[in-house]
A and B are shown apart, each in its own frame.
Chain A
Amino acid sequence: MASVCIGNLVRNSAKVFRNSYITQVRTPYGLQIRCWNSTTPEPSSKPLTSVPASDTIKHEGSGNQLIKVSKAMKAYQEKAQALDALMFEKTTEYEIGRRHLANMMGEDPETFTDEDIDTAIEYLFPSGLFEPRARPLMKHPTEVFARKKVAEFDETGRPFHVLFYTGLPNYYQVLHDLSEKVRELDSFSDRMMQYNIHKDPERTLNVGGTEWVKKEQLEDILLEKLKDKQYEFFVRSMNRLLDHPFSYRVEEFIMKFRKHVQISVIHKEIPKLMFTAEGTPYMAAVGRRKTSTASVTVYGRGSGKISINGEDLLYFKYIQDREQVLFPLQFSGLLGKVDVVADVDGGGFSGQSGAIRYAISMAVRSFVDEQMMEKMRLAGLLTRDPRRHERKKPGWKGARAKYTWKKR
């Protein structure tokens, strides 16, 4: 818990604020109001608040001068006070609860960490609910209650921020900064042109693996509600900055609004080719689809023979299923160059052919190079098809279909 001062009346604080976009802890001299939404730890012994609930307050630095407080300021103070009180109460409760929990679990309350709390809750209130957010939890109030902006004006009602009356000061501040950066880069590039230096391929901003923050995340950063149009404008403007040949000079600014994309592919170790006693390379793999399971061995240096449960490819009556089986080989250019021996059971023909297709793709990985593997992944060959038969619902005609509704 931090103590935040709203009493700072001087303009120079606005400069600090301008470069931060999120609510800042301002250096206090004067009126002190506790605000819970900052990250600085709180001196625990202090009592709640020092704001007198009156229209006039004393300014410590300037003697016993009476300052008129606007109604808006007063209303804000009251609101902040109430919130702080609530937070203080909740935090105290949480602290007591934590100690109780530690005692119940027979641990030392002083060293009882958040992880210990989670384990204890899971042990004491076992829940079968699927959604993790619906399960019982005990977290610090700062994690449970939403963050709020601190006061944006002094006690006379004068806003700190020049863009306060836009309604979205933080958002427009970002745009201002952005245009300033663009101008800076332009003038820099002009200077470079004089020395006949163009874009340096060595020094480019690499934003691979990242993307612009989503609208909700930007709102979290700015603590302001944005409209879709405003978000789109932001992304467009940021892209312009990113496309600038010297954008690497403002990397810090850009990266503030980019977040890492989680790479969905889990890079598994691809098994190395094995060899038979005759020296033929081969690789085995298992594939599944619907209720079918296929175990497949792909032999290199073959002539394109395919054997499925001891029969040839005409095991599959429909051409679609045969295409499914051949697709990974055709795609990787191995058709007619490898032999395939497959053993498949369970399910129907489309499930079986899909299972064989997946198994062949997995086995073929060992025969092809990295690039082809990436192509195969993009073609969806290395992804297991998770779709299953959907059950019929009682009272309905099928899984989704209903009977014709007749009035009577």
Chain B
Amino acid sequence: MARLLSRNIFQSFSDFGGCSALVRNVAVGREARWWSNEASPAVKVTAPRTSLNQPGLQTEEQLGLWYTLEQDIAKQLFGLGGIPKQFATQCKTFAETCLMIRKPALTTIDYIKKTNLALPPNKFILYGREGVGKSLSLVHITHFLSQDNWLLVHIPWAPRWRRGFKEITASATVPGRYDHPLDAVIWLQHFKSQNSQLLKTLQLETSEEYKWSRREVTEAGAPLIDIVELGISRARFASDCIMAVTTELKKHATHQRCKIAVVADGINTFFCLTSRYRLEDLTYLNPENFTIFQAFMQLFNNNWRNGVVVASVDSLANDGARRESYLPRYLLRQKGWETLDPFIPILVSNYNELEMQSIVDYYVDRNWLQNPGASSDTGRRELAGLSSCNPYTLMNICNSL
């Protein structure tokens, strides 16, 4: 990259040198003032931003523009995951969390607005090649859902529970089931942080009694937040708490006490055949046996109402042997395909020309691209060529070495 662009640097330096020489020569002449205006530095590139920071208000006119996700909202919604790590690092560097408004997110938001909640939940599956922005589209959509008073059941990156788990123990309550004590606590904290405001106003109550141990019991009619709190304080019961929470939420939604949005990144991991947990007989455990998987999988069914499921299928959520295609049928396998059926597939693709212009402008605005040739026409074409307009590749190219 540096090598390729060096030619441009050289060119633009020589251009600049030529200009200043011109000024020096003509400065003695009559038209010195006119020339010096001509030679003033090129127009400063600024990021194309929009002040419409509510995703619900954004329309197609804002396509390719950048909107700011305020720091406290970003922390509340995605403090415990959701924004891909590399993008989060970049946001920290830029001292702001900005998202580009792109077509797939807008389409999904539009569909969600038009959803008939009296029917079983609509399911939107974002799909596309690696690094095209599925996760960030989900972030955009989640922001909308949160502002639109949906109760969020947000799964930041499901494969973590299947292969990057912290600890797995056999369930004490149901034989043959396996719990994620620590991961479940983290998710409950995430859930609490995302929905604390809404849970207070909705006043959701438990519909039945939950007996965790001899002494710890959650009565029927207790606030739902109690189960969450208990799970956070008692890691041993956290997975069962999640099961209880999702079951309760499903009931409440069906009885129209709240509307629930299930957001899952890498949903195809739920339908994989093996996890990375080894049993005593050295076989790999089927992730169906995870308590939290069972808990969330019941939300993917069609037997409830007043909800919406937004998810992404990602080849990276599958194991290495099954990543040849990015299409949902291949990634979800038969089981996932049947479980999620019917769903609305939404394709996320590489940057188009407008978005490419926008991202380079943004990077130049943030002083992330400092090469004077980067914002030139040649520089843009080189960046587009090297990255094939793939957002993730472009980000890597523009990163420091």
Contact = CB atoms under 8 A, between A and B. Distances in A.
Interface of A: 304, 306, 312-314, 319, 322-323, 326-327, 329-330, 333, 335-336
A323 B397 CA distance: 12
B100 to A, nearest CB: 20
Contacts of A335: 378, 381-382, 385
B386 A323 contact: yes
Nearest to B385: A326
B1 interface: yes
Interface in B361-401: 378, 381-382, 384-386, 388, 390, 393, 397
A313 B388 contact: yes
10 contacts: A313-B385, A314-B390, A314-B393, A319-B1, A319-B386, A326-B4, A327-B4, A335-B382, A335-B385, A336-B381
Contacts of B381: 304, 335-336
A304 B386 CA distance: 11
B386 A314 contact: no
Nearest to B3: A323
Contact of B382 (A312, A313, A326): A326
Given A323-B3, A323-B4, A336 B384 contact: yes
Contacts of A312: 350, 388, 390
A326 B384 CA distance: 11
In this complex, the member of B4, B350, B390 whose beta carbon has the largest number of chain A beta carbons within 10 angstroms is: B4
A314 to B, nearest CB: 5
Nearest to A333: B378
A303 to B, nearest CB: 8
Given A319-B397, A323-B1, A304 B382 contact: no
A336 B385 contact: yes
Nearest to A303: B353
A333 to B, nearest CB: 8
Contact of A304 (B1, B350, B385, B397): B385
B390 A330 contact: no
A381 B76 CA distance: 55
A23 B382 CA distance: 65
A322 B386 contact: yes
Given A314-B393, A335-B378, A306 B385 contact: yes
Contacts of B1: 319, 323
Contacts of B390: 312, 314
Contacts of B4: 323, 326-327, 330
Contacts of B386: 313, 319, 322-323, 326
A281 to B, nearest CB: 20
Give the top 7 A-B pairs by smallest Cβ distance, nearest first: A336-B381, A313-B388, A312-B388, A335-B381, A326-B385, A314-B388, A322-B386
A322 B387 CA distance: 9
Given A319-B397, A322-B386, A335-B382, 15 more contacts: A306-B388, A312-B390, A313-B386, A314-B388, A319-B1, A319-B386, A322-B385, A323-B1, A323-B3, A323-B4, A326-B385, A330-B382, A330-B385, A335-B381, A335-B385
B367 to A, nearest CB: 22
B379 to A, nearest CB: 10
A227 to B, nearest CB: 44
B132 to A, nearest CB: 11
A326 B378 CA distance: 13
Contacts of A319: 1, 386, 397
B3 A304 contact: no
B381 to A, nearest CB: 4
B401 to A, nearest CB: 11
Interface in B1-34: 1, 3-4, 7
Contacts of B384: 304, 336
Contacts of B397: 319
Contacts of A333: 378
Nearest to B353: A303
Contacts of A313: 385-386, 388
B10 to A, nearest CB: 13
Nearest to B130: A314
In this complex, the member of B1, B350, B381, B390 whose beta carbon has the largest number of chain A beta carbons within 10 angstroms is: B381
B336 to A, nearest CB: 25
A320 to B, nearest CB: 9
Contacts of A336: 381, 384-385
A257 to B, nearest CB: 40
A336 B388 CA distance: 11
A319 B393 CA distance: 9
